[in-house]
Amino acid sequence: MHSLHVYTTPTTSKHISPKFIINGTNDGNHEQDDPVLANELPSDEEDINDYSQGGYHTVQIGDTFCQDRYVIEAKMGWGYFSTVWLAKDTILNRHVALKIVKSDPHFCKSALEEIELLEQAQAKAQTSASLSPGSGVNDNTNEKHQQHQKNGHDQGHQHVAQLLHHFWHDAGQDVPGGGKHVCMVFEVLGESLLSLMKRFNYRGLPVNMVKRITRQILDGLAFLHDTCGIVHTDIKPENILIWIPDVESYLKKQKGQQARRTSSSTFLDSPSSATTTTPGTPIDMTASNRNGMKRKMKRQQKRTEDPPLTGKQIGGNRRLDEQMQSTFSSLSLDVPQQNQRSSLPVIIRSSALDITAMMDTDEDDDSWHDRITVKIVDLGNACRADGNFKHLIQTRQYRSPEVIVGMSWNDRADIWSLGCLVFELLTGDYLFDPRADSKHGKDDDHLVKVIELMRVIPRSLVIGGEYSREFFNQKGELRHAKTLRYRRLRDVLHDTYFMPPEQADSISEFLATMLEVDMTKRFSAKTLLEHEWLLS
């Protein structure tokens, strides 16, 4: 999920390949749509070289922040512009996720913009909570949604991660990664939907689980779109995280397990012993991992080749081992022993959370499928819905056609991304995975794949985008596609993924409402919540 900030500069070049500045470096390569950066190559932890001026803050276990309020206990994850730590809030006696942003002014500015949107959402959430009874997360999503309609009050804030606190931390100039860092405090959440799909070996999640997750995401999007006037712009599996019902009980349980591992000498190598190079963490080669390894590696190659690119950010590496790179990330208390501070940064390993342990059930027990609750995270790319935006947004595989051709976009771009995500949850595969060749770019192939599947080219797409003429001729035909191989979404579900005919029909009809190529006809989140497939 975690994303790399990109700051576009004015350019008359092709929309799909804007110039961008990364840490003050201007990269003028206009042939590379979705650049793969050095930090996005497969690795287990952040680059030690990023602990420099303007970079990560050097953190060790036991460090304190905000006048000793927050005490660092473990590392949760990392991303291009921040590291995230499990911390104990000594005032409220609870655990939190502490996100520490790089000190470069560009990253600080983006973090402050994110905070502004998060506080706006937080204010709306508090208003919604005060208007309706029972503000806690309700396990029964159907009943919760029906109660929403009855009360007329918005409870979607329950499915958007809330900012708890934020502050500045001055690390001084005498340590690697010194300077002033924006720090953001969030609730502790579990693994992402990408990790969840991995648990099912990318063969698709149970349909009822997908319905439950989809309802909750739509609840969150309806809150962001209609109540807050915010467009997320980067809906994807990495940005949907699983809520932990009782964080403190879970952490207590994990600490007990850690103590037993230590006493039996089976505790993993302590991250505190890491050198200034990045340590490796092998994948646990269970039978299920071995069976799905080829498929996982294929998906990993695709995700590494296609990092997200937006007007503000490019996403980081998303690897298929047990590590998670996200704002909240997955949590495992492989906590190193507190050591004396060194003048050199030490890379502390982050590990994954076991969802079955989180749900307090046996691994073979699938009852947690009906209790899973998710939250939308990372508003680092978000924009206010009242603007006239045309800049490039969304991760490649979830990018809407209006964005590709340079049209003004709105909150329906999030709905398109969700449609792609729902297909992925059901099948384990991308819906659209465009490829470039020597003659055509990824945007050309992306539009071909969209039109082949959805079988329509709205007039607005042909003439309404700043770059429409680069893709379409005067007859409304694709310039770079000699032959279109049309297929129906229903047939893809039935023939490729062996869904029963009735199920393929109902799912394809639901997906079509989110994948309407004409964004003016695409359903809103609020309307989709009433769809028969979700309520059946």
* pLDDT of 42 over the 50 cut: no
Q: Which residues are catalytic?
A: 234
Angle at 533 between CA 527 and CA 534, to 5 degrees: 65
| pLDDT band at residue 18 using 50, 70 and 90 as cut-offs | very low
Tens digits of residue pLDDT in 495-535: 999 999 999 999 999 999 999 999 999 999 999 999 999 99
Q: Measured between alpha carbons, how far is 89 from 238 in angstroms, rounded to an integer?
A: 26
In terms of phi and psi (left: phi > 0; alpha: psi -120 to 50; beta: otherwise), the region of 329 is left
Q: Measured between alpha carbons, how far is 337 from 276 in angstroms, rounded to an integer?
A: 17
Angle at 80 between CA 70 and CA 285, to 5 degrees: 90
Tens digits of residue pLDDT in 446-480: 999 999 999 999 999 999 999 999 999 999 999 98
Pair 90, 65: CB distance under 8 Å: no
> What is the chain's Cα-based Rg?
23
Provide the sign of the torsion angle of the four alpha carbons 24, 25, 29, 33, taken in this order: negative
Would you list the DSSP string of 391-441? S--S-GGG--HHHHTT--B-THHHHHHHHHHHHHHHHSS-S------SS--
3-state helix, strand, coil in the chain (%, to 5): 40, 15, 45
Would you list the DSSP string of 475-516? TS-BTT-S------HHHIIIIIT---HHHHHHHHHHHHHHS-
- Compare 271 and 199 and report the one with higher pLDDT: 199
Residue 189 pairs in a beta bridge with 243
Q: Measured between alpha carbons, how far is 272 from 264 in angstroms, rounded to an integer?
A: 19
Pair 409, 466: CB distance under 8 Å: no
Which residues, 6+ apart, have CB-to-CB distance to 383 below 8 Å?
A: 230, 231, 233, 389, 393
Pair 189, 164: CB distance under 8 Å: no
- Interhelix angle 207-222/412-427, rounded to 10 degrees, is 170
Residue 143: exposure state from Cβ atoms within 10 A (0-12, 13-18, ≥19): exposed
Tens digits of residue pLDDT in 97-142: 999 999 999 999 999 999 999 999 999 988 877 665 544 555 454 5
Pair 1, 319: CB distance under 8 Å: no
pLDDT value for 172: 87
pLDDT value for 250: 86
Q: Measured between alpha carbons, how far is 485 from 451 in angstroms, rounded to an integer?
A: 9
Tens digits of residue pLDDT in 520-531: 999 999 999 999
Average pLDDT over residues 51-70: 94
Instruction: Tell me 23's DSSP state.
Output: T
Residue 183 pairs in a beta bridge with 100, 167
Tens digits of residue pLDDT in 207-259: 999 999 999 999 999 999 999 999 999 999 999 999 998 889 888 887 777 77
Pair 44, 279: CB distance under 8 Å: yes
Residue 313 pairs in a beta bridge with 5
The two tokens of residue 179 are 């300077």
pLDDT value for 348: 75
Residue 117 pairs in a beta bridge with none
Q: Measured between alpha carbons, how far is 196 from 208 in angstroms, rounded to an integer?
A: 15
- How many residues are recorded in the chain? 536
Which residues, 6+ apart, have CB-to-CB distance to 133 below 8 Å?
A: none
- Residue type at position 460: S
Q: Which residue has the tokens 């109540």?
A: 227
Q: Which residue has the tokens 């950066």?
A: 37
Average pLDDT along the chain = 78
Tens digits of residue pLDDT in 157-200: 999 998 999 999 998 887 777 899 999 999 999 999 999 999 99
* pLDDT of 413 over the 80 cut: yes
Angle at 255 between CA 249 and CA 259, to 5 degrees: 145
Q: What are the two backbone dihedrals, phi and then psi, of residue 323, each rounded to the nearest 5 degrees?
A: -85, 150
The two tokens of residue 350 are 């982050």
* pLDDT of 96 over the 60 cut: yes
pTM score, whole prediction:
0.77
pLDDT value for 255: 79
The two tokens of residue 245 are 């019902």
Q: Which residue has the tokens 């099912």?
A: 200
Tens digits of residue pLDDT in 299-353: 666 655 555 443 344 333 332 222 333 444 445 444 444 444 555 566 777 654 5
- Compare 422 and 305 and report the one with higher pLDDT: 422
| pLDDT band at residue 359 using 50, 70 and 90 as cut-offs | low
pLDDT value for 369: 80
Q: Measured between alpha carbons, how far is 134 from 132 in angstroms, rounded to an integer?
A: 7
Q: Which of 85, 55, 50, 52 is nearest to 70 (CA)?
A: 85
